[in-house]
Chains A and B, each alone.
Chain A
């Protein structure tokens, strides 16, 4: 089993989805239980990865699987080439971990065409896992696009009032980015073949060894970077996010925040940064600037929202700004902080969307002004919301702090020092908008009669939140569980980025001209 663990894990949800299609369509409970079981089994399958100590000692790819897939002579070769290292490991775990939670959250929320909903969720999971484990760029692209479709339907069919607009906006934004990336992928592939490098298909690890000249790197980084920046999303390409989040059903929002946004940041870490390290240097000041603007911008706009879900969506823009800034620091503290912040954002913001979902299920509104004084009515909810709020603010002892702290520390150590100073103001703004919304929802007297009989969390809802709370504190108090396995891979990545910059000096200019000609 261990030989094919990644494949089994990735395609189990797909198999589950197909099986699901044969179940009776009007038995809601059965459909939901089945999907939950599939996602739980997927989680169990992935669990050995988290406990494998090989990641502590070696930063390379493990659990490799390699099968030749589509070979059209020299002209086009792609392989089924997968593996995980300490970087993708935790994103894979986050995905398998969050999925059962997302499915549990739909229990009372989704009533319309449950079968389709569950099928989409499971298909989405295969897409996400596949993207994280792909070591072949073309394979990555297939999974990347595969994620797009179920998400489009999740928003477009099960979304809120303005769902069509949001779904189309989401789709077009992402599709534009994807196309640019596709062009970039093809370019890299033909460059590799032309330069006579020993490549097998679109193997990204072989591509790492290419010395792509700067002039080409520049445009390639732009293509990849643009595509990933949309997904992150980086300012000013973020405007699809508030709409998508607001309109998406709770489960969709949770997955979108927890995993899908990480595709963008992961794309930078795995592809854009190590493949084009020299261009990266050119773009870093610009990207760091956008990250910092995103932090401040996202926070200020979040502060003024009257729709709680939009507020959380804008806070994502700010949080992801910290991630990106940390990554661009290009040192261990920054990268590890950025990586951890990806996980943290998945947990904290995922939890926040669940919390918004709890409120929405009870009151069918997301307007902050509709609430107020809930603390007395829902003490358990109040406590959990408070913990998550402070985790999102980044209180030491919770997960948010460790990630933010290291990302900022890394940025201070690099030559992004001034950016980091401005980014650090984000810790003030986060407190402003989160505490304000908490106050408006939870504190004061109950003035709206509709809140008079509002119920506290049910056992199911507590079960949903419990694992998230566990990791809020686990990561906050003992993040080394995660760093131990992340560090070797990050060290290798950093070496990769730095070596390439040295090697790039001996550029073979004619090859580029060649490639450009053939295009």
Chain B
């Protein structure tokens, strides 16, 4: 019945191959972009079809085995796909948002020399991401997991002639590899642990069915889940592995939207969701996840205050929002986490594409005026509202959504997380307080961005300011669709307390049911309390918007006064808490020095010293003994006589 599921990853793979092999010969941008977009759109159609099939189906978990992969001893790994409500949601998000971003890229990447390369990579990314979410066992997921890492590497380094771009690409891959180390360790230990109970499997369904064999709360499951979580922090840019994501903004903007906002970076959340039962059985891990999530949300939001690069603000915002999702997972609000994942995909993709539209226009203007100003610096923008009305309105709606203004999508998903972080059996008021603060901070820095970019006086160089155009339809149509989703996307999951049916949560219930038995909302959480908390969080969000208005609209001199007054704090935040410098100092440089030491001292001096030393000794001894071989008869005769005397003497006197 779900036999055509394989088509979903297949189409983008086909697109990647076609454009990769023949794109250079095709040359025609419309054809290349058309193929790329069509392929992911076909995937989207198949995904929709399967989604509705699943809704109408009584059985909610379907495994499709395509072929065997590796069979060694007791280990049997298949190429298999898994369709359940969780993966169904994910394939819709990936192919849906993916299609829009492909469409957007047709116009955005116009004129690039590597046009075909870009679409080939983008399709390859879609393939990998779909393998990640559809993978029926940990290894197929890992194929996607590493595949998206590869595509991320290729796309961040798309402008490979720029040192900063290739550095960022390398950093992204290496940092992700640290996470992969965790993923692999987790998988190995899990496999071994289950094998100890006679179950040899890495299949997700079987893992979930046999998880009860492991001791809940035991050291083993804690280690397993912590290792997996390390993997998640790499992919989803959480403390301590978040530093690659801001640098990843070196990639073209559609890449930032698709990979570094809507899809790939959510892979860590998805992975926890996929193995929710294991995590639920390890309360210490859950608490760690919640703490890391909350801390990352705060840290990233604080850095977001001080950035002037429009994409960097959004990057830190993404890190911060991902922190929210981890907080949700950590307090057992699995479906809320996935819900926020989805709404975030809508509004953050829209924000990134909107920023791309702005950058595109700025770039165009500067190009027209032969200037080399930074098209991404918000200090050069301002007043773009009238120049780019569609971009502005879609951007504004998405900003309202992310700020948590009531009845926009972000409001519903964020408030469910807030409520769980307070009222879950694993929750704590402190989580709620941090999360609400972050909500206020988010509202502040996002409206700071909007005000600096679209409102006020135009700060663009006068020679360029009149050449800022609105973007073409391939760019604005995706913006409109995404903004629409950012506004209404939350209505699929309106919580009961706000008069909704929480359809989203119910749909996911078959996946999270068993884990949800271990984590639930405290019974004593009354409705009155919940309403109060919602009202409080809304107030704080509005306060954040007000502060942004005060500082960047009403009294633009204020920010300078603030930064002057708190120069130390400002510098600290502006320099991203010096975390990159710290890592360089603690890890990168010592590693390099150690490598050089091993090579120059250990290898060359010590080992080769011994080897060459042996050779020298042999050579020296040989050279010395050479003098005994004189070739003169009387020398040998003397030696013989001495020898005879010694031997005789030994026997006589010995």
A residues within 8 Å of B by Cβ?
Answer: 169, 172-173, 236, 239, 242, 297, 300-301, 303-305, 331-333, 336-337, 373, 375-376, 379, 390, 395-397, 401-402, 405-406, 408-409, 412-413, 417, 420-421, 424-425, 427-428, 431-432, 435-436, 439, 442-445, 477-480, 483-484, 487
The segment from B186-194, B206-214, B287-295, B386-394 found at the interface with A is B186-194
Q: A373-B161, A412-B191, A431-B174 are in contact. Are A331 and B71 (CB under 8 A)?
A: no
**Separation in Å of the B495 CB from the closest CB of chain A?**
39
CA distance A331 to B200 in the complex (A): 14
Q: Is the CB of B33 closer than 8 A to any CB of chain A?
A: no
**Separation in Å of the B462 CB from the closest CB of chain A?**
32
- Which of B68, B150, B595 is within 8 Å of A395, CB to CB? B150
Decide: A424 and B184 in contact? CB cutoff 8 A: yes
Decide: A390 and B150 in contact? CB cutoff 8 A: yes
Q: Is the CB of B578 closer than 8 A to any CB of chain A?
A: no
Decide: B160 and A304 in contact? CB cutoff 8 A: no
Most chain A CB neighbours (cut-off 10 Å) among B67, B71, B142, B153: B71
**Separation in Å of the A437 CB from the closest CB of chain B?**
11
The segment from B312-320, B531-539, B607-615 found at the interface with A is B607-615
Q: Is the CB of B69 closer than 8 A to any CB of chain A?
A: yes
Please give me the 8 A-B residue pairs with the lowest Cβ-Cβ distance, nearest first.
A332-B73, A412-B188, A300-B595, A443-B166, A304-B595, A396-B143, A443-B160, A301-B599
**Separation in Å of the B204 CB from the closest CB of chain A?**
16
- Which of B75, B188, B192, B607 is within 8 Å of A239, CB to CB? B607
- Which of A332, A413, A420, A479 is within 8 Å of B69, CB to CB? A479
Decide: A304 and B73 in contact? CB cutoff 8 A: no
**Separation in Å of the B601 CB from the closest CB of chain A?**
11
- Name the residue of chain A whose CB is nearest to the CB of B117: A379
Residues of B within 8 A of A305 (CB): 599
CA distance A333 to B195 in the complex (A): 13
Q: Is the CB of B181 closer than 8 A to any CB of chain A?
A: yes
Residues of B within 8 A of A420 (CB): 188
- Name the residue of chain B whose CB is nearest to the CB of A331: B73
Q: Is the CB of B297 closer than 8 A to any CB of chain A?
A: no
**Separation in Å of the B164 CB from the closest CB of chain A?**
11
Residue contacts A-B, CB under 8 angstroms, 11 given:
A239-B603, A242-B603, A301-B603, A303-B595, A333-B75, A373-B161, A397-B146, A408-B188, A412-B191, A439-B169, A444-B166
- Name the residue of chain A whose CB is nearest to the CB of B141: A396
- Name the residue of chain B whose CB is nearest to the CB of A430: B177
Residues of B within 8 A of A421 (CB): 185
Would you list which residues of chain B between 378 and 399 have a CB under 8 Å from chain A? Answer: none
CA distance A413 to B195 in the complex (A): 9
CA distance A424 to B178 in the complex (A): 10
CA distance A506 to B72 in the complex (A): 33
Residues of B within 8 A of A333 (CB): 72-73, 75
Q: Is the CB of B404 closer than 8 A to any CB of chain A?
A: no
Decide: A409 and B75 in contact? CB cutoff 8 A: yes
Residues of A within 8 A of B170 (CB): 435-436, 439
Most chain B CB neighbours (cut-off 10 Å) among A169, A242, A301, A483: A301
Would you list which residues of chain B between 594 and 652 have a CB under 8 Å from chain A? Answer: 594-596, 598-599, 602-603, 607-608, 611, 615
CA distance A373 to B607 in the complex (A): 36
Decide: B611 and A479 in contact? CB cutoff 8 A: no
Residues of A within 8 A of B142 (CB): 396
Would you list which residues of chain B between 208 and 230 have a CB under 8 Å from chain A? Answer: none
- Which of B150, B166, B178, B192 is within 8 Å of A412, CB to CB? B192
Q: A239-B608, A331-B73 are in contact. Are A428 and B181 (CB under 8 A)?
A: yes
Decide: A424 and B185 in contact? CB cutoff 8 A: yes
What's the dominant secondary structure at chain B's contact region? helix
Q: Is the CB of B523 closer than 8 A to any CB of chain A?
A: no
**Separation in Å of the B463 CB from the closest CB of chain A?**
28
**Separation in Å of the B13 CB from the closest CB of chain A?**
11
Q: Is the CB of B304 closer than 8 A to any CB of chain A?
A: no
Q: Is the CB of B415 closer than 8 A to any CB of chain A?
A: no
**Separation in Å of the B170 CB from the closest CB of chain A?**
5
Decide: B74 and A236 in contact? CB cutoff 8 A: no
Decide: B592 and A483 in contact? CB cutoff 8 A: no
- Name the residue of chain B whose CB is nearest to the CB of A484: B71
Decide: A480 and B69 in contact? CB cutoff 8 A: yes
Residues of A within 8 A of B189 (CB): 412
- Name the residue of chain B whose CB is nearest to the CB of A442: B160
Decide: B181 and A424 in contact? CB cutoff 8 A: yes
Mark each residue of chain B from 551 to 593: 1 if its CB lies under 8 Å from any CB of chain A, else 0. Answer: 0000000000000000000000000000000000000000110
Decide: A236 and B69 in contact? CB cutoff 8 A: no
Q: Is the CB of B372 closer than 8 A to any CB of chain A?
A: no
Residues of B within 8 A of A427 (CB): 177, 180-181, 184
Q: A333-B75, A412-B191 are in contact. Are A402 and B70 (CB under 8 A)?
A: yes
**Separation in Å of the B457 CB from the closest CB of chain A?**
38
Decide: B599 and A443 in contact? CB cutoff 8 A: no
Residues of A within 8 A of B188 (CB): 408-409, 412-413, 420, 424
Residues of B within 8 A of A428 (CB): 174, 177-178, 180-181
Residues of B within 8 A of A239 (CB): 603, 607-608, 611
Residues of A within 8 A of B72 (CB): 332-333, 336-337, 406, 483, 487
CA distance A234 to B483 in the complex (A): 59
**Separation in Å of the B432 CB from the closest CB of chain A?**
36
CA distance A161 to B549 in the complex (A): 70
**Separation in Å of the A329 CB from the closest CB of chain B?**
11
**Separation in Å of the B239 CB from the closest CB of chain A?**
18
CA distance A406 to B74 in the complex (A): 12
CA distance A395 to B70 in the complex (A): 16
Most chain A CB neighbours (cut-off 10 Å) among B169, B180, B599: B599
Q: Is the CB of B447 closer than 8 A to any CB of chain A?
A: no
- Which of A376, A435, A444 is within 8 Å of B174, CB to CB? A435
Decide: B192 and A413 in contact? CB cutoff 8 A: yes
Q: A304-B596, A436-B170, A443-B157 are in contact. Are A396 and B139 (CB under 8 A)?
A: yes
**Separation in Å of the A288 CB from the closest CB of chain B?**
15
Q: A239-B611, A435-B173 are in contact. Are A478 and B69 (CB under 8 A)?
A: yes
- Name the residue of chain A whose CB is nearest to the CB of B195: A413
Decide: B68 and A300 in contact? CB cutoff 8 A: no
Decide: A480 and B160 in contact? CB cutoff 8 A: no
Residues of B within 8 A of A297 (CB): 598
- Name the residue of chain A whose CB is nearest to the CB of B145: A396
Decide: A396 and B607 in contact? CB cutoff 8 A: no
CA distance A336 to B76 in the complex (A): 13
Residues of A within 8 A of B69 (CB): 477-480
**Separation in Å of the B546 CB from the closest CB of chain A?**
46
Residues of A within 8 A of B145 (CB): 396
Decide: A483 and B608 in contact? CB cutoff 8 A: no
Q: Is the CB of B147 closer than 8 A to any CB of chain A?
A: yes
Q: A300-B595, A395-B150 are in contact. Are A480 and B68 (CB under 8 A)?
A: yes
Decide: B161 and A443 in contact? CB cutoff 8 A: yes
Residues of B within 8 A of A480 (CB): 68-71
- Name the residue of chain A whose CB is nearest to the CB of B162: A444
CA distance A376 to B174 in the complex (A): 24
Residues of B within 8 A of A336 (CB): 72-73
Q: Is the CB of B163 closer than 8 A to any CB of chain A?
A: yes
Decide: B177 and A300 in contact? CB cutoff 8 A: no
**Separation in Å of the A472 CB from the closest CB of chain B?**
14
- Which of B147, B166, B181, B595 is within 8 Å of A439, CB to CB? B166
Residues of B within 8 A of A487 (CB): 71-73
CA distance A484 to B167 in the complex (A): 42
Residues of A within 8 A of B592 (CB): 303-304
CA distance A386 to B191 in the complex (A): 32
Would you list which residues of chain B between 98 and 142 have a CB under 8 Å from chain A? Answer: 139, 142
**Separation in Å of the A339 CB from the closest CB of chain B?**
10
**Separation in Å of the B105 CB from the closest CB of chain A?**
21
Decide: B608 and A332 in contact? CB cutoff 8 A: no
Residues of B within 8 A of A376 (CB): 160-161
CA distance A390 to B124 in the complex (A): 15
Residues of A within 8 A of B180 (CB): 427-428
Beyond the given pairs A444-B166, A483-B72, 10 more chain A to chain B contacts, judged by CB atoms under 8 angstroms and listed by A's residue number, are A236-B602, A239-B603, A242-B603, A300-B598, A396-B142, A409-B188, A413-B192, A427-B180, A431-B174, A435-B170
